[in-house]
Amino acid sequence: MADGDIRDDRGTRFFQVSAIIMALVLVAGFSVQVAMGRSTFAAPWVVHAHALIFFGWTALYLVQATLAGNSAAISLHRRLGWLALLWVPAMVAAGIAVTVLMVRRGHAPFFFTPLYFLIMNPLTVLTFAGLTGAAIVMRRRTQWHRRLMFCGMTILLGPGFGRLLPMPFLIPLAGWAAFAAIILFPIAGIVRDLRADRRVHPAWWWGVGTIVAMQVGIDLIVMSPIGDAIYAGVTAGSPGAALSPAAYPPPPSGPMITGR
């Protein structure tokens, strides 16, 4: 019988516990920002909208992982899943809008070059959307669906880990450090499959391969003339245009307030 023709509960607990851990990583990362006075409610409205949309998705993912493990609630799980058709495009739009706003203002985090930050964030959120879209298309194939959704959610952990890791000390590999942290999640899924099923479901290889391709793609674009052209076009007529796209900005002389 094809995967997903019947509901398969194998590994449900792994996905539920992982969803909780993912949510905790994001809450912890952004709580550190608040606790250290790096966030401010004076930020532009698009920043607040971005936060609500992305944390809303985190809550939805956690709820969906919980419902998927309850036979009586599976119909609700399926109905709520259609929210993704509106939510994911909103996340893409909000993620790109906030990135453009920060780069045009010259406010990219100092442990990334402005160009790297400009390319990294949109490519990250687009890759998340691609994996999540593939999971929705394969929603009737449970084992593919849950793993591709998992890998998509994994990508969103980058900002959480970026606020927990000592990023200034990881220059010039801060981006790869965040990648190394998030990739541990699908690796845990691979290990779980090997221990429980003695084989690795192919969805993990597609998910991991996509995440690795995303990370390599960021570097390739940043090092190419395409990256320079994108930066020049985005920052034209703004304070960000005065910054060297490939140079690390100096650390802030006063309190570092990101607004996020």
Nearest to 47 by CA among 99, 106, 90, 84: 99
Gap between the Cα atoms of 175 and 158, Å rounded: 9
pLDDT of residue 36: 65
Domain boundaries, the chain: 12-236
Query: What SS3 state is found at 224?
Result: coil
211-256 pLDDT, tens digit per residue, is: 999 999 999 999 999 999 999 999 999 999 999 999 999 887 655 5
How far apart, in whole angstroms, are the C-alpha atoms of residue 83 and residue 119?
27
Mind listing the pLDDT tens digit for each residue in 87-113? Answer: 999 999 999 999 999 999 998 999 999
84: confidence class by pLDDT, cuts 50, 70, 90:
very high
Instruction: For residues 182-204, give the mean pLDDT.
Output: 96
Q: Read off the pLDDT of each residue in 114-136 and give the average, rounded to a whole number.
A: 97
Please choose, from the candidates 96, 97, 151, the residue with its C-alpha nearest in 3D space to the C-alpha of residue 120.
96
Q: What is the pLDDT of residue 12?
A: 87
Q: Which of 205, 185, 142 is nearest to 12 (CA)?
A: 142
CB 191 within 8 A of CB 185: no
Query: What is the average pLDDT value for the chain, to the nearest integer?
Result: 89
Say which residue, 13 or 213, is predicted with more confidence.
Answer: 213
